[in-house]
Amino acid sequence: QQQVKQSPQSLIVQKGGISIINCAYENTAFDYFPWYQQFPGKGPALLIAIRPDVSEKKEGRFTISFNKSAKQFSLHIMDSQPGDSATYFCAASYAGGTSYGKLTFGQGTILTVHP
């Protein structure tokens, strides 16, 4: 019940296209959903995060869509650029005694944006 399932494993898009990465969770206690971007040799960098009280959050070219009833959330990257080529991770957490400081991560999506 602690799992977060992420798809696809890999994604290839053309420059200027839209990249969409999906995640699904089972634990209804989760109430914080961040996305991270990781380049080779670097640590994950926080991109954008959402809480269940909103259905969408946009920051620049990055948008999170959240569907509480379906227990799914997704990352949309508009106008994808070669510099966006990286591995993307969704994650989930909840505040509580057994969850302090713990993010549960999806398996990651390798995004390649062709010029």
Partner 1 sequence: KAGVTQTPRYLIKTRGQQVTLSCSPISGHRSVSWYQQTPGQGLQFLFEYFSETQRNKGNFPGRFSGRQFSNSRSEMNVSTLELGDSALYLCASSFDGMNTEAFFGQGTRLTVV
Segment contacting partner 1 by CB under 8 A, of 7-15, 28-36, 68-76, 78-86? 28-36
Residue 84: strand, helix, or coil: helix
Residue 85: strand, helix, or coil: coil
Segment contacting partner 1 by CB under 8 A, of 11-19, 34-42, 54-62, 73-81? 34-42
Instruction: Return the number of other C-beta atoms located less than 10 Å from residue 91's C-beta.
Output: 22
Residue 101: strand, helix, or coil: coil
- Residues 83-112: x/- map of binding to partner 1 (CB under 8 A)? ------x---xxx-xxxxxxxxxxxx----
Q: Half-sphere exposure of 69 toward its Cβ, with a 13 Å CA cutoff?
A: 0
Range 54-73, binding partner 1 (CB under 8 A): none
Q: Does the footprint of partner 1 cover residue 13 (CB under 8 A)?
A: no
